[in-house]
C-alpha cells in the first residue's frame, strides 16, 4: 500500500515536471524474471555496449558485444546508468547499496569497484570529462514537493569536489561534456518542464538550446558537432531529436508516435544513435524497454537488443 501511494505521488510529480525518464526511487523491479538475459536479438556490431537490465530482479550492469553478454554486477541493490570512461578502461555507474544513490567506478571487467560519493542524498546520472580525469554527477535533494537537482564535479586524483555551472539558478541534471569544446550540456528547469541547456565552462555562461519544457537528456556526438536529445514536442511521448551544438537545425530523428524513445547515446563512428524504446511508459523503472538503433542519415530504426528485463541506458565504446 505504502509503495503504491509513493509510486502514485512520484508519478504525479514527474508528470508535472514534464518527464525525463526518471523515477528510480520507485524502482519496482520485476521479480518473475529469473532466466537471465539469454538471446536478446543483438545486432551484429563492433565494440562494447554497457547497459542496465533488471532481468535478475534488480538492476545490474551488463556488457554486450557481438560475442555475447557479460554480467558485471551481482547484488541485491540497484546498479544503474553505466558509462564508459573515454579510454574504455572504466565504467562509472550509480548504485544504492546503502538505500540512497552514490557514484561508483569499476574496471571494464567489473573488478575493483571504487566509491566516489557517500552522502545520504542521491548522487546519480554522472558524466566523464573528455580527459577521463573527473566525473560530474547530479545531486538530488528531496523537497516537500518534488526534488531540487544540482550538478557537481569530482577530481578522481585529488577527490576535490566543486559545484558545476553554479550560475544556473534552477534545477540542473544529467551532465554531458562536449568531447572537443569546453561545453557542458545538461537538462535544466527554468520554466515548468525541462529543457536542454549548454554551459560554457570557460566563459561561465549558459544558454537554452530548447524552449517549451519538452526536452531533456542531451548527448554530444563523438565529433562534438551534434547533440542527440529527447523531445516530447511532436508526439507527447518522446522521440530522439538532433540539433547542432549551438541549438540550430533541430530535427526529429525517430518518427514514432506509438512509442516513448529515450536515453540516446551515439555509436563510436557517430553514424547511429542507440536508444531505448517503450510502448508503455517513459519511465525506466516500469513497463517494457528494449534497445534500438537509428541511422542518422536515413532515420531507419532497427532492433539492437531486447532481453527479458528492462534494457536501458546503453553506452557504446569502440
Ligand atoms: Ca544489482
Ligand atoms: Ca548518496
Ligand atoms: Ca515516439
- The CATH number assigned to the domain holding 265 equals 2.120.10.30
237 C-alpha to center of ligand 3: Å? 5
pLDDT at 31: 33
pLDDT at 282: 92
- Cα–chain center distance at 169: 23
Residues in Cβ contact with 8 at an 8 Å cutoff, skipping those fewer than 6 apart: none
Neighbours of ion ligand 2 (CB under 5 A): 100, 102, 119, 123
pLDDT at 30: 34
Instruction: State the Cα torsion 263-138-110-26 to the nearest 10°.
Output: -70
Domain assignment present for 132: yes
pLDDT at 35: 32
pLDDT at 145: 84
Domain assignment present for 234: yes
96 C-alpha to center of ligand 1: Å? 9
pLDDT at 183: 98
233 C-alpha to center of ligand 3: Å? 10
Domain assignment present for 36: no
What are the pLDDT tens digits along the chain (318 aa)?
A: 344 433 333 333 333 334 677 554 433 333 333 233 444 655 678 999 999 999 999 999 999 999 999 999 999 999 999 999 999 999 999 999 999 999 999 999 999 999 999 999 999 999 999 999 999 999 999 988 889 999 999 999 999 999 999 999 999 999 999 999 999 999 999 878 999 999 999 999 999 999 999 999 999 999 999 999 999 999 999 999 999 999 999 999 999 999 999 999 999 999 999 999 999 999 999 999 999 999 999 999 999 999 999 999 999 999
The DSSP letter of residue 293 is E
For the CA of 241, the nearest ligand? 3
Domain assignment present for 33: no
Closest CA to 153 of 221, 108, 120, 199: 199
From first CA to last CA, the distance across the chain in angstroms is 46
Dmax (CA) of the chain: 52
Domain assignment present for 70: yes
For the CA of 123, the nearest ligand? 2
Question: How many domains, the chain?
Answer: 1
pLDDT at 9: 31
Contact 268, 317 (CB under 8 A): yes
- Cα–chain center distance at 144: 25
Domain assignment present for 34: no
pLDDT at 16: 35
Domain assignment present for 63: yes
pLDDT at 289: 96
145 C-alpha to center of ligand 1: Å? 29
- The DSSP H or E segment spanning 7 is helix 2-17
Residues in Cβ contact with 208 at an 8 Å cutoff, skipping those fewer than 6 apart: 188, 190, 195, 196, 197, 247
Cα separations in angstroms, 255 against 24, 92, 178, 195, 300 = 27, 32, 26, 20, 10
The DSSP letter of residue 224 is S
Cα gap 231→156, rounded to integer Å: 33
65 C-alpha to center of ligand 2: Å? 31
Please give the residue range of the domain that contains residue 252: 2-28+46-317
pLDDT at 211: 95
Domain assignment present for 51: yes
The structure's pTM equals 0.89
Amino acid at each position: 500500500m505504502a509503495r503504491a501511494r509513493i509510486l502514485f505521488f512520484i508519478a504525479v510529480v514527474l508528470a508535472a515536471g514534464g518527464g525525463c525518464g526518471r523515477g528510480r526511487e520507485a524502482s519496482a523491479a520485476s521479480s518473475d524474471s529469473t532466466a537471465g538475459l539469454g538471446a536478446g536479438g543483438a545486432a551484429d556490431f563492433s565494440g562494447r555496449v554497457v547497459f542496465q537490465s533488471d532481468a535478475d530482479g534488480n538492476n545490474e550492469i551488463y556488457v554486450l558485444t557481438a560475442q555475447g553478454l557479460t554480467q558485471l554486477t551481482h547484488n541485491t541493490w540497484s546498479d544503474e546508468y553505466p558509462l564508459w570512461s573515454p579510454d574504455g578502461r572504466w565504467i562509472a555507474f550509480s548504485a544504492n547499496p546503502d538505500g540512497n544513490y552514490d557514484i561508483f567506478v569499476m574496471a571494464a571487467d567489473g573488478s575493483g569497484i571504487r566509491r566516489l560519493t557517500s552522502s545520504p542524498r542521491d548522487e546519480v546520472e554522472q558524466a566523464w570529462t573528455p580527459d577521463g580525469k573527473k566525473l560530474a554527477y547530479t545531486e538530488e535533494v528531496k523537497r516537500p514537493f518534488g526534488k531540487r537537482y544540482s550538478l557537481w564535479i569530482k577530481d578522481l586524483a585529488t577527490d576535490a569536489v566543486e559545484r558545476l555551472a553554479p550560475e544556473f539558478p534552477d534545477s540542473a541534471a544529467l551532465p554531458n561534456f562536449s568531447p572537443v569544446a569546453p561545453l557542458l550540456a545538461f537538462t535544466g528547469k527554468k520554466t515548468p518542464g525541462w529543457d536542454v541547456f549548454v554551459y560554457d565552462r570557460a566563459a561561465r555562461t549558459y544558454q537554452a538550446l530548447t524552449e517549451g519544457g519538452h526536452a531533456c537528456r542531451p548527448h554530444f556526438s563523438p565529433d562534438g558537432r551534434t547533440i542527440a536529445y529527447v523531445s516530447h514536442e511532436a508526439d507527447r511521448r518522446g522521440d530522439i531529436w538532433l540539433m547542432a551544438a549551438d541549438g540550430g537545425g533541430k530535427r526529429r530523428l525517430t518518427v514514432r508516435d506509438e512509442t516513448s524513445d529515450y536515453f540516446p547515446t551515439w555509436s563510436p563512428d557517430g553514424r547511429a544513435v542507440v536508444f531505448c524504446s517503450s510502448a508503455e511508459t517513459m519511465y525506466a523503472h516500469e513497463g517494457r524497454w528494449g534497445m534500438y538503433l537509428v541511422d542518422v542519415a536515413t532515420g531507419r530504426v532497427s532492433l539492437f537488443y531486447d532481453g527479458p528485463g528492462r534494457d536501458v541506458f546503453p553506452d557504446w565504446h569502440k
